[in-house]
Chains A and B, each alone.
Chain A
């Protein structure tokens, strides 16, 4: 090891790791959305013993680029879900959006696209309008948390891009969603 000080990049990764730890510990219903996020972070902290006089190697390297969609998925979750014909944000959706806002504050140059989706019940044109409402409800909440509205674009897909296929309540619930996509 020739470097005498950790690189700024390493700091950033460490900070991200700390933030993840913070998010996971202080949000009461984190398990609700954590299950939707793939657990792809590699924890290397326990792989070797740290002896006296050596560098503290308690670092985990995250398998995604800083500020990427993968990171958003990991630290916040990209999806919020809505009730039938509803566009109000549930407590769980608000928490996801708070985490998304924290991510956007951390990466001020990141812009996002918020997609609004509807389930297959309901007519095509109304569902386009409903998807727009949902995307916009998420955007408004992010803006209320201090995010610049110019960093958030919205699009409605109505019922055109379902994620779960099946004419049943479980699939419909999965498809009534807002999806935040890092641009």
Chain B
């Protein structure tokens, strides 16, 4: 359904509601009795001011004091960067802080934080323990209500401090928005190097903020379209290993790879089912691509679509009962939904242009897609019945959305065009939230495409 239709059918309010749906924005409550809170239905443009002073560093062993001070600063920095990237928070500059060296062992001096308009205050500490591990504690304070909203303690090895920072970010985000977080997650993507005519494409994995980057494949063969399993321990992707394009499963624990069925034709476009027991993908035979599903335990393969046109890019609903996919059976690429057994095929995209690469939100409420029209590309979302379509981005080429585990943010990749001398083009990974306002480039060491967001593992 196009937005204009919404507008005439539901009036301006309905249109505004449709546009404002879904993304969390912090609404500061004026009274001291009500707590700091994010209302997920509001699209306030003002991010919440939050103060994140360096975590207090302590050590039970004398020579680690300085290390802990550094880690304490770094933890606060990672949390601040996470919250800022969400678009929902504004981290206040530390040179404005009045209370110096706040400690999680003391109540903050709220009178010092109100003048700089800090509405949320995170005070934490990191302590090196005699057993060689670190103890990290934080408290989130509502400055105006003068109340603690959450306090948590973690213990881990010192080299794992970044993950603790992400978990604290998630805890803060969850406490203030009521939504689950997405910071303690990873991204698998395709790292691109070399000339365009003979591109090297390697699987690479990194934290959601670009840290802890590492390559998974050597680049001897093209690697495309990686996607996480629900446990985040496996990745299904397509490789041109031995010049035979096939779907594989890569196990992150063992580093082992497994061919997913050796058929006469190419297999591609794989995705796990929500229970992780099946992979749905396209299989090409004699030039025609249909959608098949493989049971990973029995290795049985079942054909879901049987059509002379291209059927590809399948993606399960979070309940596992339906599959969204793209097909050009109607004359151009459009989005269709079917039951998980292949029955009940129904077209859901009817707007102008082509609709491709549908991906069902982990919340189930939306389907993200790639759209092209008039030589421009967009990442968009619509409801599973095709209504309330909205475009969030636009460029020469935006492709391949992937959902944050809480269904509030999308990543995708963007190609910048090449000039007539074949220069100036690039590939990079970006994120956009559901308001369409908070678009950010994800840092990668080089050109990057085909991002896939991991689930949140707890």
Residues of chain B touching chain A, judged by Cβ–Cβ distance below 8 Å, are: 196-199, 201, 222, 224-225, 238, 240, 243-245, 265-266, 268-269, 282, 284, 286-289, 310, 312-313, 326, 328, 332-333, 356-357, 370, 372, 375, 396-397, 399-400, 415, 417-422, 425, 449-450
Contact = CB atoms under 8 A, between A and B. Distances in A.
A132 B287 contact: yes
Contacts of A166: 418-422
A123 B313 contact: yes
Nearest to B198: A161
Given A132-B265, A167-B425, A161 B415 contact: no
Contacts, number: 105
B237 to A, nearest CB: 12
B396 A167 contact: yes
Interface of A: 85, 87, 120-126, 128-130, 132-133, 135-137, 139-140, 154-156, 160-168, 171
Contact of B245 (A87, A126, A128, A165): A128
**B312, B328, B425 interface centre (most CB from chain A within 10 Å):** B312
A87 B288 CA distance: 12
A95 to B, nearest CB: 21
B418 A160 contact: no
B269 A125 contact: yes
B284 A132 contact: yes
Contacts of B265: 132
B312 A129 contact: yes
A120 B415 contact: yes
A153 B14 CA distance: 55
29 contacts: A87-B287, A123-B313, A123-B356, A123-B357, A125-B225, A125-B313, A126-B312, A128-B284, A128-B312, A129-B284, A129-B310, A130-B310, A132-B284, A133-B310, A135-B287, A136-B287, A155-B266, A156-B245, A156-B266, A160-B240, A162-B197, A165-B196, A165-B418, A166-B418, A166-B419, A166-B420, A167-B396, A167-B417, A167-B419
A128 B198 contact: no
- List 9 A-B pairs, minimum CB-CB distance, nearest first: A136-B287, A165-B422, A167-B417, A129-B289, A125-B269, A129-B310, A123-B356, A132-B284, A167-B418
Contacts of B370: 123
Contacts of B328: 126
Contacts of B312: 125-126, 128-129
Nearest to B419: A166
Contact of B400 (A85, A124, A155, A156): A124
Contact of B268 (A85, A125, A133, A140): A125
Interface centre among A125, A128, A160, A164 (most CB of B within 10 A): A125
A123 B268 contact: no
Contacts of A85: 332
A59 B397 CA distance: 54
Given A87-B287, A123-B400, 9 more contacts: A121-B372, A123-B333, A124-B399, A124-B449, A129-B289, A137-B287, A154-B287, A156-B266, A166-B421
Q: Most chain-A CB neighbours within 10 Å: which of B287, B313, B333, B399?
A: B287
B1 to A, nearest CB: 22
B246 to A, nearest CB: 11
Nearest to B333: A126
Nearest to B313: A125
A161 B192 CA distance: 13
Contacts of A128: 224, 238, 245, 266, 268-269, 284, 312
Contacts of B310: 126, 129-130, 133
A87 B328 CA distance: 13
Contact of B266 (A120, A123, A132, A164): A132
Contacts of A167: 396, 417-419, 425
Nearest to B415: A120
B417 A156 contact: no
Contacts of B197: 161-163, 165
Contacts of B284: 128-129, 132, 156
Given A162-B196, A167-B418, A125 B425 contact: no
